Amino acid sequence: MRSTAYGTKGPGKTGYDVLDDFRQAFIVMKNEITKYARGKKLIIFAALTALILAVVTAALTIWGDGLGDNSNNLSYLYIMIMSLLVLVAITLFASTALVSEFEERTALILFTKPIRKWSIFLGKFLASLIVTVGFVLIYYAVVIILCLIGPGYVDGAIFVSLGLSVCYTFGCAGIGFLISSVMKKSSTSSILTFFTLALLLNMVLSVIMIAAHIEDPWFVLTYAANDILYVLDPMQTAHAARAAAVMIVWGVASALVSYFLFRKRDF
């Protein structure tokens, strides 16, 4: 039996053991999450999330009418910042996931071990997704608790909004990994990811709506993300299923492209 940098070959095996590759991906994911927990990024983002919740709550209590009596109105005030939170999380956790392996030379060690690149990619993608979705779930959980404390009930629309936020996280993670797969510096990857999600896609959206005279550019990721809020506003028309599908397609397409770019990249 012999070991290679891309798997283990021997009697009874054809190419590589798929189950072993998933096990290695799980190990990479666990190590990546541990790295987040030991670093400052997780603490900084947790503090930022807590600060946002505290500021909105304080503003409602001091200058507003408290938590009010309408669950959707209260949820809207908190969830309107969700797209920005996801953007910051993806910038912190996804945009540097692949490029850091080359920049910090850890890839030199990983690629000489019997582990395939797709296991590394999958483990890192899941790690960034789990951490970001975890924060999204915690944020929504706090909002739900506040709705129970204030209005005294929770409207089902908030759970639709939660599902859309998870889908948006997936779509943004794919873009973050796509950029990370071709960059040479983590700092450059982070800046470009933030710029792409915060400005570039919105600029493209404006051009499509104004120059191409398309009033409903549903296929643009950032436009689909509007339904995260629209489902909470009865005055707006939301297409939740369509928006979720668009976000998932963006995530799958960009993740696949980033994997193939990562696989062809040499240290």
- Give mean pLDDT, residues 69-90: 94
Q: How far apart are CA 253 and CA 245, in angstroms?
A: 12
Q: Please, which pLDDT band fits residue 63 given cuts at 50, 70 and 90?
A: confident
* pLDDT at site 8: 42
Residue 181 burial (10 A CB sphere; 0-12, 13-18, 19+): buried
**From 38-42, 79-83, 219-223, 258-262, the region with the lowest mean pLDDT:** 38-42
Closest among 42, 260, 39, 32 to 126, alpha carbons compared: 32
15 versus 24: the higher-pLDDT residue is: 24
Cα distances (angstroms) measured from residue 258 to each of 36, 44, 58, 221:
22, 27, 42, 17
User: What pTM does this model have?
Assistant: 0.88
Q: How far apart are CA 197 and CA 194, in angstroms?
A: 5
244's tokens: 């979720």
Q: What percent of the chain has pLDDT over 70?
A: 89
- Give mean pLDDT, residues 94-106: 79
